[in-house]
Amino acid sequence: MKGQEQSVSATYEASAVEVQNLILDWVEATEQFHNRYAKLTEVINSLRGGSRRQDSATRMRLRQLMTLRQHMSDVLMTLLMDMNNPKIGKFQSSQSGQLHSHARLLSDLNQEIDAELVNGASMIKTVAQA
């Protein structure tokens, strides 16, 4: 029986409760992501609408925030396209892994965005005081 090998499938099937929790985590992370996108857009618009003569620090900050917003758009579109994979007919175990990865990525980006928004808020106050 040298030539015969049994392959044991070591796939993990998530329970319905685990899948539901993953979906809820993904939805929450996505909502927070959208809220931060809106806040970031507000900060960008306020920096743009500030004064016509912006110092180089403000222009650099504006470019940085616009780049972050574009990155956010790219990430969200990639994740949505990933979840809309036509090859997957129904919810499979690999999709629960995708949801977990996506929720984790969005949460990490939310933290990065929060840091940028805090810096942006202090920058706006400084510009407004000037």
Give the per-residue pLDDT at 129: 46
Q: Which burial class, exposed, middle or buried, applies to 79 when counting CB atoms under 10 A from its CB (0-12, 13-18, 19+)?
A: buried
User: Residue 44: its pLDDT value, please?
Assistant: 87
104-114 residue pLDDT tens:
888 888 888 88
* Gap between the Cα atoms of 99 and 79, Å rounded: 9
More confident residue, 84 or 40: 40
Beta-carbon contacts of 41 under 8 Å, excluding residues fewer than 6 positions away, are 69
Asked whether the whole model's pTM tops 0.75, one would answer no
Instruction: Give me the residue spans of the domains in the chain.
Output: 15-30+53-84+96-130
Helices 93-129 & 56-83, crossing angle to 10 degrees? Answer: 160
Contact 72, 33 (CB under 8 A): yes
Q: Is the pLDDT of residue 88 over 60?
A: no
CB 100 within 8 A of CB 29: no
The phi and psi torsions of 97 (rounded to 5 degrees) equal -65, -40
Check whether 61 has a pLDDT greater than 70.
yes
Q: Check: CB of residue 61 under 8 Å from CB of residue 120.
A: yes
Q: Are 54 and 124 in contact (CB under 8 A)?
A: no
The mean pLDDT of the chain is 74
Q: What is the pLDDT of residue 121?
A: 61
Is 128 a residue whose pLDDT tops 50? no
